[in-house]
A = this chain, B = another copy of it.
Amino acid sequence: MNAQTYQRRLAKCGEHMANLGIDVLLLTKPSNMFYLTGDGRLCAYAMITQAGKVALGVPVTDIEDVKALAYHDHIVGFDDEVGMIHSIAHYFQHFGISKGMVGLEYTFLTQSMMAMMTHPHAKPEGVTHQDCTHILSEMRMVKEPEEIERIRAAAKVADIGMDAAIKAVKPGMTESQVAAAAEFAMRNAGAEEFWRTYVASGPRTNIAHGLPTNRKIEKDELVMVDIHPIVNNYSADICRTVCAGKPTAEQQKAYDLYLDAQQSTIRMIRAGVGMVDLETHIHQVLEDGGHGDHIFGPPIHGLGIEFEEAPLPPGHAFFHGEKAPPPLPENVVLSVGNCGLYAGPWGVRVEDTNWVKADGYETLTRYPRRLAK
């Protein structure tokens, strides 16, 4: 991304801030900092004024690295938390903000981090704070062409990772070894990083977040693999369920139902459709198939810099400090199939990354969808 990209985003951000009466943002969430400046990292912060000025605070060791990556007007290095707090106070003074409103990320800051950011040695007493989560979420929700291309690149790596994982699924292999195969393949295919890998087998295919364990896969068990490579700072999301042998008729039937629910929901995607319409549809198909009580979690979510970001379905959004999403604009990217079907001592799930277009959609993850290997 070039300087014009960040200037355009910062100008847009300034409009949101003005509308909400926010004088300055104090960001610490890496994905939000990355979106507005080109660099996001732990133990750092970005102050963003309404006028689009960017003041960064980073570990003193990281100054040269950040300078080369981030669009910014000011940068300061700190030695420790005390230095960080003082540098924030300095920027407030530099920008002449002694009263007014600072926007903080309530969905990211822990209570202790909040105490640091609003410490009397950091934030002027006359400055109050409000949540700014939704400003960045709303901006990041609609992707620019270069962002779509990066997600497309991540989706290709996701397909490669899934291929390696599915090939590794064999009786006797542990869930962790299947995860290893996927992660190794993704990094070697160009992922600089990945989000949490889920691999769950047998009865564990039922659980909501199947982090891999050393459980050995047994013959004829189902195995669920859910992976999220990061390529050039953008993510993709794919999940497949396969059988390490021969699935039962009941398993195949549940799988076919889930796949139909997921694929028919994807076919509804186009600009103007609502998240609720999509959510209602996928739930309805599963309910009509007799599994209305066997689903968990939001079936659809956005992705981009993070593998799960706005838009989220309204109920879920509320609890995550996000606003209910509007009818989908074009160039949102959606993951569909995030809710599993939990049928008893096993479950099935199929999830894909989709680009919302004016008149339809494109599914970016393409690994074959079939229960039998």
Could you tell me which A residues sit within 8 Å of B by CB distance?
41-43, 59-62, 64-65, 79-82, 104, 106-112, 114-116, 131, 133, 174-177, 179-181, 183-184, 187-188, 190-193, 203-204, 206-209, 211-214, 296-297, 315-316, 318-321, 340, 342, 345, 347
Contact = CB atoms under 8 A, between A and B. Distances in A.
Given A110-B106, A183-B180, A192-B212, A206 B64 contact: yes
Contacts of A116: 319
Nearest to A60: B296
* Copies of this protein, total: 2
A318 B115 CA distance: 11
12 contacts: A43-B208, A61-B207, A61-B340, A61-B342, A62-B206, A62-B207, A106-B115, A107-B110, A112-B319, A112-B320, A179-B187, A180-B183
Contacts of A203: 64-65
Contacts of A320: 112
A208 B79 CA distance: 11
Contact of A107 (B81, B111, B133, B213): B111
B193 A211 contact: yes
Q: What 6 A-B pairs come out closest when comparing CB atoms?
A: A106-B111, A180-B187, A59-B208, A81-B319, A112-B321, A184-B184
B107 A109 contact: no
Contacts of A61: 206-208, 296, 340, 342, 347
A214 B109 CA distance: 29
B106 A109 contact: no
A80 B62 CA distance: 41
B191 A176 contact: yes
A315 B191 contact: no
A179 B60 CA distance: 25
A175 B188 CA distance: 10
B296 A79 contact: yes
Contacts of A207: 59, 61-62, 65
Nearest to A321: B112
